[in-house]
Amino acid sequence: MATTDRHATTLALAHALSAAERGLAVIPLSRSKLPALRSPHHDDPRPTPCHGECGRLGHGVYDASTDPRRIRALFAAAHWATGYGIACGLPPHHLIGVDLDTKSGADASAALRALALRHLFTIPDTVVVTTPSGGRHIWLAGPADAVVPNSAGRLAPGIDIRGAGGYLVGPGSRTEHGVYGTVAGTSGLPPAPCPPALLRLLAPTPREQHPTAARPHGSPPPGGDRDADAQRGEGLVQFVLAAHEGQRNTRLFWAACRAYENGLGELLGPRLTDAAVRVGLTEREARSTIASAARLTGYA
């Protein structure tokens, strides 16, 4: 490994250990911002859902820990890691991340201000992380009895939410596009309580509360829902097919998130992949983006 990579890994581990001291559970990330450790079930002919019960490393956010020995073991196994992820939804902070994205072209900060005015809340002083693309992550603490789901663009275009089962890239992480930092004066703050009005907006929908009760992933819905879901699925495919250069990955990610949130992820995956390839992405890029959407929405 190059000296610069080794130095980046050492710094990432130091930042991760510092975050753990604040009660934040962490995992090592690669330069792509994905969990650095490959799933131990990747090559299984028929992989079954596993959240670490097998005892091996490589289960993404389910590996997250505040134990320094566990964290050092994770980074030792992922010696190429250059960043770290902070698991959301876990005690003591029950972290909620409000991700104000810039890549979609939407003014996410203005959208959040509009939501705050409409629903009468203000964002309290809290940790604010800066991203290499110019976006921001606002850290908020949730109540112990509330489960906030991951979502992408549900509140408004460009506003993604990291909740239970998700993670935030920690400040100090080095990625393919640059280094994550913090807004001056916020790094030492604890995550501030999420305003109740905002928390109500983030509450899961009935489908998100009971995604498997409605129907298994990939199975067709009963009765009249079939036509509605077919129309919704066709709309998502057409949305990807209408992408121009510079929009392809963003549109695919948004469409895949909507598909998984509506229980159509596995059903639409192949069609979304085909649409993305037709507009210029490689099949590998398309599958990777769809997998990221599945992880973000809690379906991976």
Residues 118 and 160 grouped into a single domain:
yes
Looking at residue 299, what is its pLDDT?
62
Looking at residue 160, what is its pLDDT?
92
Residues 122 and 226 grouped into a single domain:
no
From 205, 237, 263, the end of a domain falls on 205
Looking at residue 129, what is its pLDDT?
98
**Is 257 inside a domain boundary?**
yes
Residues 9 and 73 grouped into a single domain:
yes
Torsion of CA 111, 199, 251, 233, to 10 degrees: -130
Residues 180 and 74 grouped into a single domain:
no
Looking at residue 260, what is its pLDDT?
82
From 44, 72, 87, the end of a domain falls on 87
3-state secondary structure of 17: helix
Whole-prediction pTM:
0.71
**Is 211 inside a domain boundary?**
no
Beta-sheet strands, E only, within the chain: 26-29, 83-87, 95-100, 128-130, 136-141, 151-152, 159-162, 167-169, 174-175, 178-179, 181-182, 192-193
Residue 96, token pair as written in the block: 């909620």
Q: Measuring CA to CA, which residue among 162, 160, 180 is closest to residue 171? A: 180
Residues 95 and 196 grouped into a single domain:
yes
Residues 96 and 196 grouped into a single domain:
yes
**Is 210 inside a domain boundary?**
no
Residues 171 and 241 grouped into a single domain:
no
Cβ atoms within 10 Å, residue 192: 16
Looking at residue 91, what is its pLDDT?
92
Q: Could you tell me how many residues make up the chain?
A: 300
Residues 112 and 195 grouped into a single domain:
yes
Residues 112 and 188 grouped into a single domain:
yes
**Is 41 inside a domain boundary?**
yes
Looking at residue 298, what is its pLDDT?
67
**Is 247 inside a domain boundary?**
yes
Residue type, 266: E
**Is 177 inside a domain boundary?**
yes
* Residue numbers in the chain where pLDDT is lower than 70: 1-4, 46-48, 104-105, 205-232, 298-300
From 29, 62, 87, the end of a domain falls on 87
Residues 129 and 188 grouped into a single domain:
yes
Looking at residue 231, what is its pLDDT?
58
**Is 39 inside a domain boundary?**
yes
Residues 109 and 197 grouped into a single domain:
yes
Q: Measuring CA to CA, which residue among 176, 169, 173 is closest to residue 10? A: 173
Residues 68 and 102 grouped into a single domain:
no
Expressed as residue numbers, the domain containing 11 is 1-87
**Is 213 inside a domain boundary?**
no
pLDDT, tens digit (0-9, with 9 covering 90-100), for 197-212:
999 999 875 554 544 4
Looking at residue 184, what is its pLDDT?
95
Looking at residue 289, what is its pLDDT?
87
Looking at residue 74, what is its pLDDT?
96
Q: How many domains does the chain have?
A: 3
